[in-house]
Chains A and B, each alone.
Chain A
Amino acid sequence: MSEPSDEDLMSAIAEGDQKAFNLLTSRHLKMVYAIALQRLKHPSDAEEVAQDVFTRLWQNAPKWEAEAKISTWLYRVCVNRSIDMLRRRKPMTDIEDVPEIPDGADNALQTLETKDRKRQIEEALGNLTSEQRDAIQLVYFFEMRQQEAADSLGLSLAALESLLRRARKKLHTVLNKNYEELY
């Protein structure tokens, strides 16, 4: 038996089906959490946003109109809620900005090199625009189809490709100096 589609689950949720809500939440929770975490940097804030997004989905399910994709709706609500939270948030010291102290056990040269590359890419990811980071998350990590990701970001397919290309180019310049040479 094939898995029910998101639209099937929404119809069931509109009837108050808690199992369908549980399944839909398990399908999209990681994506919503990741998008929120990327903007807010604090796991507890990202959890709060994720909870709010899915609560809205539950409450508004009877009003759902099957014109938009669920993932597109979730993405947009998540981004808006994250922006609201950023506006509300008081300035505070970001504990995650404190540099990580190297683990004494992991002192092999290769491990350090890998860690260093990873750290550099993490930094480079932080320097991308939020739209570029979201495109990477949706397409590479959550394997959203290109058209769906483009719809979520409110872009054309060609604009999404261009966005991804520019993002990858920026990241490559951290890893490899010969990007321009190769391309």
Chain B
Amino acid sequence: MTDDKTNTISLDMHRFKTLISAHGSNIAKWPEDSRNWALAYSSDNKEAQKFISFEKELDDVLEDIHKTTIKSEDFSSLQYKIVSEATHLPQQMYSGNQHPLMGSSIQSVAACFMLCACLAAGMFSLPYLPLDTITSTYSEPSFAFLEINPLSSWD
């Protein structure tokens, strides 16, 4: 019985340490499903409170840094600039039954298909080209051409 209780306590403390080491001292900012449990657990647990004050020291400094860099800034002029300039620009429309990525995918596939078709046409038409059009600059037909063109009717 005592062993069970000790195990429960250490498991709870382990869970508390795991959570506080990631989410910091403010239990209100912890994941929702752990908040009530953590509040109840830490309310009368001195060791848990020791962890809270340890983590609070870091949170206070972080909050201070955040305040001086971001919170003190006045964003109203930047916000005004963004809204006034952006809303002068037109919005991009697309028809509702077309997925934005779908058009580009179809175009890519079509382009690939056309490229393959051109290559295939080129390969198959080569044997049927008149030999004199290919070797017109030479007085003798090209020997290399004969070698790579077994379907040729030239003899």
Contact = CB atoms under 8 A, between A and B. Distances in A.
Interface in A47-64: 47, 50-51, 54-55, 57-63
B146 to A, nearest CB: 54
Interface in A16-42: 16, 18, 21-22, 25-26, 29-30, 33-34, 37
Given A26-B79, A51-B81, A55-B82, A62 B92 contact: yes
A14 interface: yes
Interface string A149-181: 000000001000110110011011001100000
Interface residues of A, number: 50
A47 B34 CA distance: 37
Contacts of B100: 63, 65
Of B18, B55, B75, B93, most buried by chain A (CB within 10 Å of CB) is B75
Interface stretch (A1-9, A104-112, A134-142): A134-142
Chain B contact residues, majority secondary structure: helix
A171 B55 CA distance: 11
Given A55-B89, A164-B23, A182-B54, A50 B82 contact: yes
A146 B75 contact: no
Interface stretch (B57-65, B106-114, B123-131): B57-65
A14 B90 CA distance: 11
B57 to A, nearest CB: 6
Of B21, B73, B81, most buried by chain A (CB within 10 Å of CB) is B21
Interface in A62-87: 62-63, 65
B91 A18 contact: no
A143 B29 contact: yes
B122 interface: no
Given A34-B70, A59-B90, A59-B91, A22 B57 contact: no
Interface in B1-60: 17-18, 21-24, 29, 31, 50-51, 54-55, 57-59
B83 interface: yes
Interface residues of B, number: 41
A46 to B, nearest CB: 10
Given A37-B69, A164-B22, A165-B21, A25 B91 contact: no
A51 B61 contact: no
24 contacts: A22-B79, A26-B79, A29-B78, A30-B71, A30-B75, A54-B83, A58-B86, A58-B87, A60-B91, A60-B92, A62-B93, A121-B61, A125-B65, A136-B62, A139-B29, A140-B29, A140-B59, A146-B31, A164-B23, A168-B24, A168-B55, A175-B58, A176-B54, A183-B17
Nearest 3 CB-CB pairs, A to B? A58-B86, A165-B22, A55-B86
Given A25-B83, A182-B54, 20 more contacts: A16-B91, A26-B79, A34-B69, A47-B78, A51-B78, A58-B86, A59-B92, A60-B92, A63-B92, A121-B62, A121-B65, A136-B62, A140-B29, A141-B62, A161-B22, A162-B22, A165-B22, A175-B61, A176-B54, A176-B57
